[in-house]
Each structure stands twice: as structure tokens, then as C-alpha cells.
């Protein structure tokens, strides 16, 4: 992979925070404002691909329609040295995937806040007319006190209108195989309940240390989401309450109509249940 220049316009690259197939995430120092920011920059090999720039333009459009402390703020799209990049708020904390890999027991004391704030982020997204479509631990940054930021709005889609809800519409299958709702896998029109399913997978993983389904290849994994019964969280975390287990089962229902109808409903339940039988230290 071609190395990035040390400077993009007024932005001096400081340290790499993340790496994707087509983009890199960096902490940078803005020489004009003297502020520390994060940038999402297309790698040089893909910089001339108009599809990659459109993804950044779309992500900026979605972000500009949002305003919530649990959603990452994106300020602008710039293009320096032929490298399109988003300039965004810096939240210098690891994503949940990394933290889960280090052991879920360490997450337990702040788990309620992490889950509640992520639900608030998704509820705000839905209220502003968007479905995230890629809810997964990699896309939630979490501080040591449990404060979170939802990130990566690149494949967010508008909430379907009445005709879309009634008749449905086939579209390209997008998302991450370990967290996709059955209707998303089938390429059907998705609404907030697809994010609720994915979020159920995330809560499951935060408690169990692994997603509800695993398989040797993507096809088998997707088939499990469509037809297999997820294991009970209580068999994987004996400290999990029957209340959180019941909520996860509802969120992971194969039929979207059997899930909570909105993130508001999920939040209502989250505020009245305990996650653990014994308090975590």
C-alpha cells in the first residue's frame, strides 16, 4: 500500500488510528486552528475511484443531518494531494471490537452506559430519517467511562417510504456478515428493525465475547442468520439476567415484525432491566 504524505493541506498526520480496505483513519493536527482532528482518507490506490469519493460525500451528507453527542461529528470533505478525505471530530478511544478481544469482563462495569448510549445514537439516526445498516462493535468507539461515539455512516440509507414498506424493493446486499438482519441478507427493503437486529448481535457479543453465529465461510454465516436459532446468552455468560437474555432474543427475531418496533422501545426496556445477576466490580 502506498504511503500517505505527511501533510494534507493544513493537516499534519500524527498517528494512524484505523485501517480499512479503501480508507485509513488518522489523527491529525490542523495547522490553521491548532486543533487535533481525525481524518478518513482514501488510500492512494483508490483515490481516483469516483465510487469511493461518493461514499465520503454520502457520509458527510448523513453526518450533517445529525447532531447528537453519541454520533461522531464530521466537519468537511477536503481534497489535497489528490487524496479525498473527511475531517471529523477526534474521539481517541478504541472501538468495541478491540475492547471485546481483550475480555468482556473489563467492559462489564460500564456496559449499561455503553449499550444505552449506542441505542441513543441509533434512535437519533432513525429519528433523522436514516438506517445505519452496518451496526457492529467496530463502528462504536468507547471511552473508559462508557461514553460512546457511533461512527462509519458510509452505507446509511434513507428510511423507506410507505411504498417501500408495503411492496419492498430488492437492492444490493450491504453490511457485515456477522451482524446482518435476515431481510438485509435477502436484499429486501430495511427499516429501523434491521439496525435493532444488528444491535442485538452487538449486545450479545458484549456479553458473550463472540457474535451469536460463526461459520467457516460467509455463505454459511449468512444462512445461520436467516434460519438458525441463536444460543441463549445465559449459557455463555452465567451472570447475565433473564431480562437481558429475553431482550436479546426479541431483537434477534428472524421476522422483523417480532422484534421491538423501534429503538425507543429498546431504550424503554434497557432503562428498566439489569444486565447482570451480580454487580460487576
> Which residues are catalytic, by number?
134
Residue pair 171/194 in contact (Cβ under 8 Å)? The answer is: no
- What letter does residue 216 receive in the DSSP assignment? S
The four Cα atoms 57, 196, 275, 223 give a dihedral, to 10 degrees, of -110
Long-range contacts of 179-188 (CB under 8 A, 24+ apart): 179/134, 179/135, 179/136, 179/211, 180/222, 180/225, 181/225, 181/256, 182/225, 182/226, 182/254, 182/256, 183/256, 184/133, 185/222, 185/225, 185/226, 186/226
* SS3 at position 188: coil
**How distant, in Å, are the alpha carbons of 11, 15, 32, 48, 87 from that of 6?**
9, 10, 16, 20, 16
Instruction: Give me the helix-helix angle, 242-251 and 192-208, nearest 10°.
Output: 140
Got the DSSP string for 112-169?
A: HHHHHHHHHHHHHHHHTTEE-S--SGGGEEE-TTS-EEE---TT-EEPP-HHHHHH--
Amino acid at each position: 500500500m502506498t504511503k500517505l504524505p505527511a501533510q494534507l493541506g493544513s493537516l499534519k498526520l500524527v498517528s494512524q488510528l484505523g485501517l480499512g480496505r479503501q480508507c485509513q483513519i488518522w489523527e491529525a493536527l490542523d495547522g490553521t486552528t491548532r486543533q487535533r482532528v481525525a481524518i478518513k482518507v482514501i488510500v492512494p490506490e483508490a483515490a481516483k475511484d469516483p465510487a469511493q469519493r461518493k461514499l465520503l460525500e454520502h457520509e458527510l451528507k448523513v453526518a450533517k443531518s445529525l447532531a447528537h453527542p453519541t454520533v461522531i461529528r464530521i466537519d468537511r470533505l477536503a481534497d489535497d494531494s489528490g487524496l479525498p478525505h473527511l475531517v471529523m471530530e477526534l474521539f481517541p478511544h478504541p472501538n468495541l471490537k478491540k475492547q471485546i478481544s481483550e475480555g468482556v469482563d473489563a467492559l462489564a462495569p460500564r456496559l449499561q452506559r455503553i449499550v444505552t448510549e449506542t441505542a441513543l445514537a441509533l434512535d437519533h439516526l432513525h429519528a433523522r430519517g436514516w438506517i445505519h445498516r452496518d451496526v457492529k462493535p467496530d463502528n462504536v468507539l468507547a471511552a473508559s467511562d462508557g461514553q460512546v461515539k457511533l461512527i462509519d455512516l458510509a452505507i446509511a440509507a434513507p428510511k423507506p417510504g410507505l411504498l417501500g414498506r408495503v411492496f419492498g424493493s430488492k437492492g444490493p446486499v450491504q453490511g457485515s456478515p456477522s451482524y446482518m438482519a435476515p431481510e438485509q441478507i435477502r436484499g429486501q427493503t430495511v427499516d429501523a428493525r434491521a439496525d435493532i437486529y444488528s444491535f442485538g448481535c452487538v449486545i450479545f457479543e458484549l456479553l458473550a465475547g463472540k457474535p451469536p453465529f460463526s461459520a467457516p465461510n460467509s455463505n454459511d454465516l449468512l444462512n445461520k442468520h436467516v434460519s438458525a436459532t441463536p444460543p441463549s446468552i445465559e449459557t455463555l455468560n452465567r451472570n447475565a439476567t433473564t431480562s437481558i437474555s429475553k431482550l436479546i432474543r426479541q431483537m434477534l427475531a428472524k421476522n422483523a415484525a417480532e422484534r421491538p418496533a423501534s429503538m425507543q422501545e429498546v431504550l424503554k426496556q434497557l432503562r428498566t432491566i439489569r444486565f447482570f445477576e451480580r454487580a460487576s466490580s
